[in-house]
Amino acid sequence: MRIFQYVRKFRRTQDPLIEIKISSKAILDNYRLFENEYEVPIAPVLKSNAYGHGLLEVADILSPITAPMLVVDSIHEVQLLRGNGIYRPILVIGYTRPEAIARNKQRNVAFTLTSLAQIKAVVESGARVSVHIKIDTGMRRQGIVPQEIDDAIRLLKESNVSVEGICSHFADADGETDVFTRSQIALWNALVPQWQSAFPSLGYWHLAATAGSAFAKEVDANMVRLGTGMYGFPRHPSQTFGLRPALSMHSLITGVKDLAPGEHVGYNCTFTAEKPVRIATVPVGYFEGVDRRLSNKGAMTVEGVACPIIGRVSMNISTIDVTNCPTVKLETPVTVFSNKSEDPNSLVKFADMCNTTPLELLVHIPQHLRRVVVNT
């Protein structure tokens, strides 16, 4: 814990070459848009370093809102939050070893139990702990299957475990059709009353994440888990109500030079100048989250001008074509990732170029890079 706090202090005292800006206004506005649209309590998801936005930074941003709980993936994330003075209720949705659950001393923390074997182990440990039981309604990753529900209820009713909630997860809520999603909803809606009858004090039953929230009115649930959408990325075609990406990445020019026709750039000489070109280096590469698949595809913006990435993206350096920016010099600012979806260097556009989702690009931004919270 002390090491993490030292790293945060060290980052604040240095003059970085790379800076991540996180818009508190965008995150809060996005959260409230979902809250207003679906009229259901929303639990913000902060797993995986808050989808690359910064676990502690986003937890601080969310302090004005009233939410049922914060959702994280691991007990490590719980410890980081608690060690930095954040004492809101927390749900751990990732797998936690039964012995770690039994040893947990943090208050207001609930753990998700994801299999009958894990339920048995936690019950046998005698742990007095709050849990959410994961039920597999079709995702086929985690959760007890419907045929195991009776055994799970019997074990839990004879234990010290407090069943705070039940949960599941949509597999195809953002798919081309809603057929599979509706089959999951039907199964979920049928099993909720069984758990409510077995545990009258059941506090939460939740199925939907960002994409699934579009079906909120059809799902028997009293909470939605909001991750992707809170950070400004819709997952369902109907979610077109003004979401705004919260993250942008900024750096600077570290070198400028001119290429003659026939000269190459970068590893394996994948770019060859066909005419005189002015190039510049930027101290970001695939270690800093600029995907290598953006080599000779992506762009960064300098003085409002889109400057193509040329040559291979290296581990810590990318090269851009600044021919159309005649005033560029050493340490001219560069926007690496824009938080405007229409820009050529937005994470949406980059994800399309890489045949992936913005989430993959976001979570690959290293935790050590400085996040600065801005209210814009």
Average pLDDT of the residues in 288-293:
98
Q: Which of 212, 176, 207, 214 is nearest to 190 (CA)?
A: 207
Instruction: Give yes or no: residues 204 and 261 share one domain.
Output: no
Q: Dihedral, CA atoms, 24, 28, 31, 36, nearest 10 degrees?
A: -160
Query: Half-sphere exposure of residue 367, counting CA atoms within 13 Å on the CB side?
Result: 13
pLDDT digits (tens, 9 = 90+) for 148-178: 999 999 999 999 999 999 999 999 999 999 9
Q: Are residues 252 and 188 in the same domain?
A: no
CATH number of the domain enclosing 311: 2.40.37.10
Tokens in use for 162? Answer: 């407090």
Check whether residue 164 and residue 84 sit in a common domain.
yes
Task: List, for residues 208-261, the tens digit of each pLDDT value.
Answer: 999 999 999 999 999 999 999 999 999 888 888 899 999 999 999 999 999 999
Are residues 223 and 41 in contact, defined by beta-carbon separation less than 8 angstroms? yes
Tell the residue number behind the tokens 């003085």, with chain if given.
Answer: 303
Question: In the chain, which ranges are E strands?
Answer: 19-23, 42-44, 70-72, 90-92, 109-113, 130-134, 162-167, 204-206, 224-226, 247-252, 255-259, 264-265, 271-272, 277-282, 299-302, 305-308, 318-321, 333-337, 371-374
Domain extent for 102: 69-222
Report DSSP letters for 224-290, one per residue.
EEESGGGGT---STT--S-----EEEEEE--EEEEE-TT-EESGGG-EE-SS-EEEEEES--TTTT-
Predicted confidence at residue 7, as pLDDT, reads: 55
Within-domain flag for 12: no
Q: Are residues 211 and 255 in the same domain?
A: no
User: 12 pLDDT exceeds 90?
Assistant: no
